Structure 1
Amino acid sequence: MKKLLNTLYITRQESYLHKDRETIVIKNGDQKLGQFPSLTIGNILCFGQISVSPFLMGYCGEQGIGLAFYTEYGRFLARVQGKQTGNVLLRRAQYRWADDENRSVSIARLMVAAKIANGRSVLMRELRNHGDNPMLTQAADKLANSLRRVKHAKTVAEAMGMEGDAAATYFSIFNELIRENGFVFGGRVRRPPTDPVNALLSFVYSLITQECASALQGVGLDPYVGYLHQDRPGRLSLALDLLEEFRAPWADRFVLTLINRRQIQLKDFVHEASGAVRLSDDARKALLVAYQERKQVEVMHPYLQEQVPIGLLPHCQAMLLARHIRGDTEFYTPYIVK
């Protein structure tokens, strides 16, 4: 199994990163903030006004260290990519499958089904832990019906439509899962997020998308060519496909934990004149620490039947997808929590 490496989150504005022998050095002006062996680093995520030396960029590309840039809001901007790894025959097969509606929908159905099933599991967990709630029960029943319907989707567009309906049902009662006073979720708002809950969701989704992109590239797949999300210049379509499996069990539950345990509070958000809402610098650092700790938690992978750190789940699913596209397995097995 692949080893879970560390991720560097650079949030201090006007920091500068460069390479010194086999280490990565972080400086702010004349002050050295840290120095880390490059062999222990899997990803470097830079938020805001962060500079990286051209030589370190090249080194990250050569060594397969993910290097991505975000705004202070956590909106993804760009990532540095080195030479493509993996068998070119795998990528050629991936592209052919993406052009084949039947093959595309066979994978899209499974990813949408996993998203719906995992969202329903979050609701059922809430019902088990906190007793009967008619709104949650009704939503769970609707999601069960959506899950049955998606198995019969004939096209990717049809699968996407069912995914949209299921997401609307799920988010319509998401506010019922929030137990901390003051946090109110009235619906999903993306660009830009206009309330604290949406700000948290968007930020964490963006982080996990990059985890998925790195995992796909690591097994030799092209993260920009997907089966559920359509091709668009600059869009990590396959990474977004993979993200669907992790939204509810990883991202949403993590956000709910931060709110309900008061690890993140209303005072931790900045409201911009434009109406956008973002995390304060200190709160973003606290979230990233908690996120890194969460990645270390081990769970039983339902298909591989072994304990896997949460941070390696994207790699596991990327590996299973690559096996399916190569023809080693008859079906792709999405990640579904028990």
Structure 2
Amino acid sequence: MRLFDLHCDTIEELKKRGEDYLNCTTQFSLRDREKFQKAVQVMAVFVPDDIRGQEAVQFVLDYHQYMDDQVRRTGGQAELVEKITDLDRILDEGKWAFIRSIESGAALNGDLDNINRFADLNFKMLGLVWNGANELGSGPNNDTGLTAFGKEAVKRMEQVGMIVDCSHLNDAGFEDLLNIAERPFVASHSNVRACCSHPRNLTDAQFKEIVRRGGLCGLNLFSRFIDDDDNGSKDYLLRHIYHMLELGGEDVIAWGGDMDGEITCDPDLNTPYGVGRFADYLVEHGIGEAAVQKIFFDNAYRFFKQQVK
């Protein structure tokens, strides 16, 4: 089994609990690494909406150092991807490959030069917003689009090779993104609104735009985004996959589990190591083996190799 997961919040949970990747009570851990032939985890530094200004910049810098320290404590079981050309070597050595990302453009403090700064620190992806408003735009809590700074930030991110992540972005902001983005972008942890009406999910039109542009959409395991009854079972998640495939998404669907982001879902999916059982379940329910491999690894691997500097 191979896994490429586009989003988790584990690094901050480790710090809160005083744990490490090898000895932890978090959903994500390294305890069962041998279950994967190859494994990549995008590790997000989540900036809460109430942290702003220079404090938000420093928050990311502090977690950058903390992540480095935590990876060193794995005894070589994990390695951070500094350059995308390192990815294959790390995987061939049997390690978890960790890729840095930032969740919420509040981290930029309204300064485009911070995009270059974070890119130089090997953050490969940045989510424009979280639930509230920041200097770039807003999440689903209101209906304002991207700000002038947000539009310039997207352009700068594309220039430096940092992936634009539109998960959490509201509908008006998504429309603005379509008008300015020249490179493929991702929704790292988003489902589809046709199967669950939460505004965090993508409309069919939005998903089809991601397909048309060659982006990615990572399946989110938070039950509130899986079905309107907050059930979160794998049967409901399967509906999202069926629908995405009907919309032409075979080369776009990826995995964006959102581990340690307070997710509640099917018990089989409560850690990364349950995805093998879920992969078997997908095949049993008519999803082709090649498509399953694309969802769990191939699509995200191809995208990052092509799009990340």
**TM-score exceeds 0.5:** no
More helix by share: 1
Q: TM-score, normalised by structure 2?
A: 0.31
**Structure number with larger C-alpha Rg:** 1
